[in-house]
Amino acid sequence: MMATLAAEQRRQGVWRAGGKRCVDSVLASVGLIVLAPVFGVIALAVRVALGKPIIFRHERPGLHGQLYKMYKFRTMTHDRAADGTLLQPHERLTALGRFLRRTSLDELPQLVNVVKGEMSLVGPRPLFPEYLPHYTPEQSRRHAVRPGITGLAQLQGRNTLAWEERFALDVWYVDHVSPWLDLRILLLTLWKAATQAGIAQPGEGIERPFRDAVDQTRGERSE
């Protein structure tokens, strides 16, 4: 029993030390090449439906809370009310945007973030910088690994989970990260994306800011 536990800890150590980053880089690079035609079609569709910019960039906390620019395909318009303020996110979300979100295709540009070493294929989803001062010390441990394109919370229900449940899953992942866990999460993510199983529609579930740390009407923060 002790020998098996020690061997598992060694494997986790190797994975954390560099194996995960190496596999991420290779798979993300291959993904960018293979999915290049898909990128082209989506980019053209976004350009026609929404205009420029095609890619939405937003600062997110990465490894150890260091900020980086996360990339997504744009899903919302810049429509404003008569007083010049941006309309609510659900009013600016287009039919194309709903499709991209529902299928998670809007997340594909994050493969570039993975290649750059800012993200991982699997890990806690990156949230908003405004949330950082509001985490408990335990919740802050979610930043002990790189944020992921997909993660446990996404498999368990995305916005239908309470914040405390999401953070508990993130910390559990940090404590149990391994190649087998990552592979399981990736395969389940692909299956759910293909079948739309357990995918909340935009506007459903819990979308309130964590501890009211963010103004819902500011900018395009809901992209």
Write the pLDDT tens digit of every residue in 105-155: 999 999 999 999 999 999 999 999 989 998 999 999 999 999 999 999 888
pLDDT for res 62: 96
pTM for this structure?
0.82
pLDDT for res 91: 78
Q: Are 125 and 147 in contact (CB under 8 A)?
A: yes
Residue 184 lies in a domain: yes
- The C-alpha atoms of residue 48 and residue 35 are separated, in whole angstroms, by 20
The amino acid at residue 144 is A
- The C-alpha atoms of residue 156 and residue 167 are separated, in whole angstroms, by 12
The amino acid at residue 165 is E
Residue 223 lies in a domain: no
Residue 139 lies in a domain: yes
Whether the ω angle into residue 209 lies within 30 degrees of 0, i.e. cis, is: no
Alpha carbon distances (Å) from 159 to 10, 117, 150, 167, 186:
35, 26, 13, 12, 19
Residue 16 lies in a domain: no
| 103 half-sphere exposure, CB direction, 13 A CA radius | 13
Residue numbers of the domain that contains 123: 21-200
Q: What is the pLDDT along the chain (223 residues), one digit of tens a residue?
A: 544 444 445 555 557 767 899 999 999 999 999 999 999 999 999 999 988 999 999 999 999 999 999 999 999 888 787 777 877 777 788 899 989 988 889 999 999 999 999 999 999 999 999 899 989 999 999 999 999 999 998 888 766 778 888 999 999 999 999 999 999 999 998 888 777 655 544 333 334 566 554 444 344 445 6
User: How many Å separate Cα 128 from the centre of its chain?
Assistant: 11
pLDDT for res 116: 96
Residue 52 lies in a domain: yes
Residue 189 lies in a domain: yes
Residue 15 lies in a domain: no
Number of structural domains in the chain: 1
pLDDT for res 10: 55
Listed in sequence order, the residues at least 6 apart from 156 whose beta carbon sits closer than 8 Å to its beta carbon are: 165, 169
Residue 217 lies in a domain: no
